[in-house]
Amino acid sequence: MNTTTEHDWLTPEMEEALTQSLQTWVDLGYGNAVIPIYHDVDEDGLTDYVGLNSFGKIELLSATQVEAVDETQPGYEGPAWVRA
């Protein structure tokens, strides 16, 4: 899947909130964190995610680009989903 920089599906408020949330993970040392959006924006049949690109801007990711992390493990304080 090609990532996109166009976010017609996001309101400016949603984009700002997602960016701030992801930036919080970056500031905590988890630069590969992503957030599920529970919608198939790119129409590939899979739930999509957003993450920050190297410029700190929202980037759309397909489920094939993401892996789940077992956040129930003792001592793990990172995000539940990260870039694969």
In the chain, domain spans: 12-83
- Write out pLDDT tens, residues 47-69: 889 999 999 999 999 888 998 88
Residue 31 token pair? 């630069």
Residue 13's pLDDT band (cuts 50, 70, 90): very high
Q: In 3D, which of 45, 56, 65 has the Cα closest to residue 2?
A: 65
Mean pLDDT of the chain: 85
DSSP letter, residue 65: G
Summarize the confidence of residues 10-34 as an average pLDDT: 92
On whether the CB atoms of residues 22 and 50 are closer than 8 A, the answer is yes
What pLDDT, on a 0 to 100 scale, did the predictor assign at position 7? Answer: 66
